[in-house]
Amino acid sequence: MGENGAGKTTLLKHLNGLLKPSRGSVKVDSVDTRETTTATLARKVGLVFQNPDSMFFCTSVMEEVMYGLTMFGYSEEEARERCREVLERLDLWSLRDKSPFILSGGEKKRLTIAVVMAWSPKYLVIDEPTSGQDREGKQRLLQTIETIMGEGRSIILSTHDVEFVADLEPRVVLMSQGRVVAEGEAREILTDRALLEKASLLVPQIPSLFLELNRRCGVEVEHRLLRVEDAVCALRREVLPRLRGGVR
Amino acid sequence: MSFSIVAGLRYRSLDTAIHRLDPRVKLLISASFLINALLFNEYFCGMGTVASIIVASQLSLLSIAKSHRSLLTTMRGAIPLIAIVYVLNSLGGWAEGIPLEEQLYRATASSARFLAFITSFSLFFLTTSPDEFGLLLFKLRVPYTYAFVFVAAVRLAPILAEEVQDIVDAQRSRGRELEGRNPIRILRGVVSIFTPLLINSLRRAYEMAEALEVKCFGASQKRTSYRELRMRRTDYAVMLVTIAFEVLVLYLRALGVLNGLP
């Protein structure tokens, strides 16, 4: 996470070797990215671009998904099977014969993810997954990401959508002006107002609420909470009794 | 993918004496370079000398404009082409059965001339912004619609290069091999870029047309310009010097003064 121009996309493009480091080295499962090609790395590291339009080059949604599968040597039958599965999962099956370019913004974004998910890379890297997504799109994305995480694969997201990340509670690496400024659990980082301001990010609504409660009502409750359920518990257990009890 | 050969044609916004010159004057200078390169076309009549002088003066003029590095990049990018010119000329000389020194001289002179050709307009392109270019065309009485088409094309060239890079990246990220040393595999990869590039360019053209309509393109017949080209004293002075110089060169050429020079 980090402000615009913090270097998130540049970092992600190093993960599958689209960019090679000019100093230092990038290693993917102990393979130096400078010593192999992107095409080889891509099998393991699936990168979803930020801008869908720059990712499409086929004439239909179906072909777009099939492209990577045929490149990686899947048999026709298996490729079709996988294609169908991934398109259904992301609710794009009905659009399979359409041109990728006439899809809506949200559909395009989902297609970019489908395209890469199709060959189940060990690491799924998604640049700005939530940009241009409505509530339903985000919800679906969240479910997909949770499923993939359940399958024991890793997902790396770049985003400044703090609320989306708050729901996932992942490990967060905060970047600013090309450098990593903080790293740790979402619960620690996304509730640290000073740190977030440094990276030009908003504090998510829930910790924001607790920070304000602490400041205005002097209740001094733990503010490092990200989920609605946790917030409800904390409010019920600690805040409400004190407010009722006449504490200012 | 490298586009180093066109690096020498990409405008960079700087503020130097050369950048401030009127584009018409710069066009004249570049044209004079090109004419001279065309004019001295015979071996032992100053072909190699003139070509080398042209390249050297381009470089020194561009170093005033702080853009000589771009030209050097172009020249470096042109090395394979120059090598082809060199080899073809040597082979030609060898087939004609002329002595070795002369073969080498011919090949060197032709390569220098080739270099002079490809660099002759870099002074103009490197220091003239697409907008100035448009104004220039307008001044030369090219109808605005056509002038705009031309300017848009010039301005879109770097975007197109970016587009190619995007498509290449997208394909590499999905397992197409576009790196490495196997030339056949790379060539096949390059072919696969053309279709999407064409489609994307057409799409971009439609988008641009819409944007133009939104901004009332062609709404009135008589179009005014926010900025107009105006010749200053320096511009006139440089123009006169260029014309005088070109007349001198033509005169020298007619007299055959350079005959016998390499």
A93 contacts chain B (CB < 8 A): no
What is the percent of chain A where pLDDT is above 90?
Answer: 46
Residue position matching structure tokens 């200012």: A248
Q: Does any CB of chain A come closer than 8 Å to the CB of residue B177? A: yes
The C-alpha R_g of chain B, in whole angstroms, comes to 22
Give the closest residue to B118 by CA, choosing from B51, B27, B44, B41. Answer: B51
The span from the CA of A89 to the CA of A65, in Å, is 13
Of the candidates B100, B114, B94, the one whose C-alpha atom is nearest the C-alpha of residue B48 is: B114
pLDDT of residue B1: 39
Instruction: Quote the percentage of chain B above a pLDDT of 90.
Output: 11
Tokens representing B195? 């279709």
Do B173 and A16 lie within an 8 Å CB cutoff? Answer: yes
Judged against a pLDDT cut of 70, whether residue B7 lies above it is answered with no
Whether the CB of B175 is below 8 Å from some CB of chain A: the reply is: yes
pTM of the model: 0.70
DSSP conformation class of A2? B
Q: Taking Cα atoms as reference points, which of A95, A153, A105, A155 lies closest to residue A130?
A: A105
Please give, rounded to a whole number of angstroms, the shortest distance from the CA of B43 to a CA of chain A: 46
Distance CA A165, CA A204 (A): 9
Q: How many C-beta atoms surround the C-beta of residue B24 within 10 A?
A: 17
Confidence of residue A75 (pLDDT cuts 50, 70, 90): very high
B188–A contact, CB cutoff 8 A: no
Return the CATH fold of A8-200.
Rossmann fold (3.40.50)
Closest-CA residue in chain A for B175?
A39
Residue in B closest to A12 by C-alpha:
B173
Instruction: Specify the 3-state DSSP secondary structure of B250.
Output: helix
Q: Does A52 contact chain B (CB < 8 Å)?
A: no
For residue B161, count other CB atoms closer than 10 A to its CB.
Answer: 14
Supply the pLDDT for residue B180. Answer: 65
Give me the helix-helix angle, B23-39 and B233-255, nearest 10°: 10
Sketch the domain layout of chain A as residue ranges: 8-200, 204-248
Interface mutation target, options A33, A38, A74, A120, chain B, most CBs of B under 10 Å: A38
Give me the residue from B166, B176, B179 closest to A71, CB to CB.
Answer: B176
Summarised one tens digit per residue, pLDDT across range B200-216 is 788 888 888 999 999 88
Place B122 in a pLDDT band, splitting at 50, 70 and 90: confident
- Answer yes or no: is the ipTM higher than 0.95: no
Using a CB–CB cutoff of 8 Å, tell me whether B171 touches chain A: yes
Pick the more confident residue, A202 or B196.
Answer: A202
> How far, in Å, CA of A115 to CA of A66, rounded?
8
3-state secondary structure of A158: strand
Phi and psi torsions of A44, nearest 5° = -95, -40
Q: A173 or A137: which carries more pLDDT confidence? A: A173
The answer to whether the CB atoms of A39 and B178 lie below 8 A apart is yes
Query: Which residues in chain B have Cβ-Cβ distances shorter than 8 Å to A37?
Result: 172, 177, 179-180
Answer whether residue A21 shows pLDDT above 90. Answer: yes
A74 inside 8 A of chain B by CB: no
Give the integer Cα–Cα distance in Å for A126 and A116: 9
pLDDT score recorded for residue B2: 45
